Amino acid sequence: MSQHPLRLLLDFEEQIQRDRDHSPAFLHRRDRRFALACEANHTEADVIDWLAHIKNLSGPAKTTAASESAFRQWRQIHSGFAMAGALLGVLTMSGLLFFDGGSRINITGILGFVLLQLLLALATSIQSLVGWQPWRWLLVRWQKTPASPTSRQLQPLLMARAAHTGGALFGLGGLATLLMLLVVQDLAFGWSTTLDTAADSYHRLIEWLAMPWQALWPAAVPSLELVEATRFFRADPSAVTTTAAQWGQWWPFVVMLWLGWVVLPRLLLLALAQLALRGKARRLLASHPGLHALQYRLETPTLDTGNQHNDAHDLPDTRTGTTPEPLPEAHFLVCWAGAGKPQLPEALTGQDIPGFQAGGQASLGEDDDVIATIARLSPPHQVSLRQQSATVLVITQSWQPPTGELQDFLEQAHDAWPEGTRIALLPLAPVPDQAPEPHLLQPWLRFANRLPAHFARVVALPEQQHRNQEARS
């Protein structure tokens, strides 16, 4: 189990979301059993060991898909910022150092650009501290599923870390381009400004900027004589009497200016953003409501009901004692959260059944439209449904546990559709025509059992039903 606070927080929150589908008694018995095992081993029951224990109970095939998907999305965002930053750094430095032999590379322009980069770096850190999200539009387009409340609190810091990563690669790419151009070209630097600025004032500004490295590399601090000699006037280039060697003596200052005021601040702020993100993740985990409930279950003994059977040494029974029913003849088909893509099972492809998409990326308004459309097409006076009640087949993905969103959809549909309408849940395996693993069907069976009587039932394809009967026999 990972020790990283961010990964630990996301894994813990995902498990808490999954535990909402279980009864409080089941959770108490499971977690209290874990606490007793830790006490017998003289170890402290912490969140890392608890998550490892839950993973062992769920089996090797159980994965934290939501947290892995979130980490994968943020890695892609960081990689995109890093590649874009490195490319822009190369292009920007190439533009700043463009030299055609007839003009000078203006140090004043480089100073202004360095100041802009420093201001952008500070603004990135400030926006993450105040919670402002200028990149929210990018997250909305990039994330496939809505972020949880905990993830939304981490988004400003995560985006600041991504922006600082891009800024650091921007500076490193520009520094590499600068060093390369110094080797392959004979660059001529000078300074000029439209304002009436004296050479001694400009030199004081240069000395102030060079203070961080003046003891480390004195040659990177231009002298007053160099500043006076390398001022050029675009209106009268012939008035410049500077020797050719003096135009190139600015390069140590330019290298240290870029390194000290662009690259190092970005690296420092990136490290601070990483530390702030770890601290934020620890605080969110410590104040998580699910952690308080878990600590209560770990510390509170379970009640003795008087049963003679002592299950202190038994693992929690996660079986429901039921199996999926045969696939009925459906009149409507609802694909929940992208299930059935890219293709439906062969048992459904040959049937002319009206199909709808709901859940997942669909909005609540689109879900309401699906419910209203089925209600309009299935009144008792319709010829196709005159002799029997309608059956709505809801296709889901077996590896995704049932959610409260699906339960709200079914309850709303049950109230809106005609009385007697039957709902059949069909969890599909990753390969549509294969049977889902038994441990993936158990949450769906428990989900159907928790619903009111005759509300919904779990069904299976014909060949899957045959396999279930053989396994039960």
Residues 28-64 pLDDT 10s: 988 988 999 998 888 888 888 898 888 887 655 444 5
For residues 452 and 361, state if they share a domain: yes
Q: What's the pLDDT band for 451 if we cut at 50, 70, 90? A: confident
* Pair 269, 391 in one domain: no
Residue 307 domain flag: no
Q: Are 460 and 428 in contact (CB under 8 A)?
A: no
Residues 86 and 119 in one domain: yes
> Is residue 164 domain-shared with residue 251, that is, in the same domain?
yes
The H-assigned helical ranges of 131-190 are: 136-142, 149-184
Average pLDDT over residues 3-25: 85
Residue 34 is classified by DSSP as: H
Q: Do 129 and 273 have their domain in common? A: yes
- Is 312 within a domain? no
Q: Could you tell me if residue 318 is inside a domain?
A: no
Task: Please state at what angle helix 149-184 crosses helix 107-130, rounded to 10 degrees.
Answer: 170
**Size (the chain), residues:** 473
Please indicate, yes or no, whether residues 44 and 144 belong to a single structural domain of this protein.
Answer: no
Residue 315 domain flag:
no
Residue 196 vs residue 227, higher pLDDT: 227
pLDDT band (50, 70, 90) for residue 387 = very low
Q: Given 228, 252, 284, which residue is the final one in a domain? A: 284
Residue 320 placed within a domain? no
User: What are the tokens at 378?
Assistant: 């299935």
Cβ atoms of 13 and 150 within 8 Å: the answer is yes
pLDDT of residue 382: 46
Residue 24: inside a domain, yes or no?
yes
Q: How many CB atoms lie within 10 A of CB 175?
A: 17
Whether residue 295 sits in one domain with residue 174: no
Residue 70 is part of which domain span?
66-284
Consecutive H or E run containing 55: helix 47-58
Same domain, 44 and 80: no
Q: Are residues 119 and 267 in the same domain?
A: yes
Same domain, 131 and 170: yes
pLDDT tens per residue across span 79-135: 999 999 999 999 999 999 987 656 788 999 999 999 999 999 999 999 888 877 776
Structure tokens that stand for 281 in this block: 């993740």
List the single range of 148-162, 244-258, 437-451, 453-467 with lowest mean pLDDT: 453-467
Which residue carries 């039903």 as its tokens?
Answer: 465
pTM score of the predicted model: 0.59
Query: Residue 462: is the preceding peptide bond cis (ω within 30°)?
Result: no
> What residue spans of 210-349 are helical by DSSP H?
224-229, 244-247, 251-258, 264-286, 289-299, 346-349
**Per-chain mean pLDDT for the chain:** 81
- End-of-domain residue from the set 255, 284, 313: 284
Question: What integer pLDDT is reported at residue 120 of this predicted model?
Answer: 94
**Percent of the chain residues past pLDDT 70, beyond the cut:** 81
**Pair (153, 262) in one structural domain:** yes
What are the tens digits of pLDDT across the range 257-294?
A: 999 999 999 999 999 999 999 999 999 998 898 899 99
Residue 363 one-letter amino acid: S
H or E element: which one contains 370? helix 364-377
Asked whether residue 349 is assigned to any structural domain, the reply reads yes
> In degrees, to the nearest 5, what angle opens at C-alpha 184 toward C-alphas 261 and 259?
10
Q: Put residue 420 in one of left, alpha, beta given phi > 0 → left and psi -120 to 50 → alpha.
A: left
Q: Are residues 346 and 261 in the same domain?
A: no
Q: What local confidence, expressed as pLDDT, does residue 170 receive?
A: 97
Residue 231 lies in a domain: yes
Report the number of distinct structural domains present in the chain: 3
- Boundary of a domain, candidates 234, 257, 284: 284
